[in-house]
Chain A
Amino acid sequence: MFVRLNKNQPAMVSVTFDGKPLQLCGGLSVAAALLEAGIGHFRETPVTGSPRAPFCMMGVCFDCLLIIDGIANQQACMTQVRKGMIIERQSGSADAIAQGDRS
């Protein structure tokens, strides 16, 4: 269980996670906020489909990868929570077509 230490709860922020609305603590990294919200696994690996979650929390392990605002393979520990963020678990490889192109 992830517990919050202080008595002052930071302001909550509305995001969507896997299509459902979710309230996350503002001012945190997406990884920290999701862990606190009880999200136990973030993705399934492309090779064997194994579940993974954050490991190092400092940007070197690349295990906390999520699809954020439509872009795949974002390091959740290096991204700050933002109001209206659309967060999705990544199952396997990036969907290049769904990501679309930027002209």
Chain B
Amino acid sequence: MEYEFIVVGGGLVGSAVAYGLAGKGCRVRVLDEGDRAFRASRGNFGLVWVQGKGWDFPSYAKWSNSAANLWPEFNQELSESSGVDTGYTRPGGLELYLSETEWENRSQVMAQVRQHVGDQFEYEMLDHAALKKLIPQIGKDVVGASYSPQDGHVNPLYLLRALHQQMDAKGVSYRPNEKVDNIEYLDGEFIVHTQTGTHSAAKIVLCAGLDNQRLGAMLDMQVPVTANRGQILITERAQPFLHYPTLHVRQTQEGGLQIGDSHEEVGLNDGTGVEIMAMIARRAVRLFPLLARMQLVRAWGALRIMTPDGKPVYQSSQSCPGAFAIATHSGVSLAAAHAGPIVDWMMGIAEHPLISYFSTVRFAINADTKGKGSCGVCSIE
């Protein structure tokens, strides 16, 4: 067998996993698509977020919290070894509200998360006056915010670059332009057929985003994922003024204001649409009126990997032991967990007690829960 692990997918999930595996001495091959792949990574807003997550799913609340706490050390090691500044900072983060009702609801959500996680989850509800002390440029329409000092942000593209660089440095065999046609499990070995040839390994991890559903089925795993499009706007560079990332607006390390948070079901269309762009712009200008005079220089769309309840899937195959599938739209927030405890689980070193809560079995059990749950962060239901 050529490799101990084949990782299908070189996005934020696949590369964090490959980085972690290689770091523990495994021989890994990563099969990635080409330059025009959907790349959910490119659509990630870059938040390393804790607040609100898992208010309706206690294990997720605890998992998110512990993943965020792993981040600083993960980032230090990655940045130092790769020489790439990922731009990670943890100044605390805000979610801003334009109505009293929303603010009240948020209050309850935060209290719920505190109940699940305990005092480890730090947060504060801020009214307009308190918020204005943090961010003087806040719009008058903003009634208040929820704040957690545990929230941070990072440049997701530089994170991906750092991971790729370290994958390369640690001897991971990275192959782009290798879309997977078919996977077989034969005599304890996984044989992967791609456009150019065959690859084999003792274990396989599917981190192929939207393609996980097709590939998972080949290995007796049901991974229900749908595409959810998010559009993101970015402005010209500005001198730093927004020192806290917020859900809808954050200032990148280069100075551009990144604005987003939209959700559309448009199939496999990762383009942009002017109605949504205008909606995003309108909301941003209400939150920070000075944005009105800033120039929009780029916009893009990307397809989030949405599971039925918005929470991650960590699945291992029953009939094909050694096959794993990971599906999540929080590839940034959970990156440290993917490089750490998830790798330990897949290598058979240790299984973190929370992992089993994220198997796909929960969808069968909750089959009557139609539609999506809320992941506690996105403003979709």
Contacts and interface: CB of A to CB of B under 8 A. Distances in A.
- Is there any pair of Cβ atoms, one from A and one from B, under 8 angstroms apart in the complex? yes
Interface of A: 46, 71-73, 92-97, 99-103
Contacts of B290: 96-97, 99-101
A29 to B, nearest CB: 19
B289 A94 contact: no
Interface of B: 137, 236-239, 241, 254-255, 257, 288-295
14 contacts: A72-B236, A73-B295, A93-B255, A94-B238, A95-B239, A96-B238, A96-B239, A96-B291, A99-B290, A101-B288, A101-B290, A101-B291, A101-B292, A101-B293
A101 B288 CA distance: 8
Given A94-B237, A96-B293, 14 more contacts: A46-B237, A46-B254, A72-B236, A92-B239, A94-B239, A96-B239, A96-B241, A97-B241, A99-B294, A101-B137, A101-B291, A101-B292, A102-B293, A103-B289
A72 to B, nearest CB: 7
A46 B255 contact: yes
B125 to A, nearest CB: 26
B289 A95 contact: no
Given A93-B255, A97-B241, A71 B293 contact: yes
B236 A93 contact: yes
A62 to B, nearest CB: 9
Please provide the 3 A-B residue pairs with the shortest distance between their CB atoms, ordered closest to farther: A101-B289, A93-B237, A101-B290
Contacts of B241: 96-97
Max chain A CB contacts within 10 Å: which of B239, B254, B290, B291?
B239
Contacts of A96: 238-239, 241, 257, 290-291, 293-294
Contacts of A93: 236-239, 255
A73 to B, nearest CB: 5
Contacts of B137: 97, 101
Contacts of A103: 289
B294 A94 contact: yes
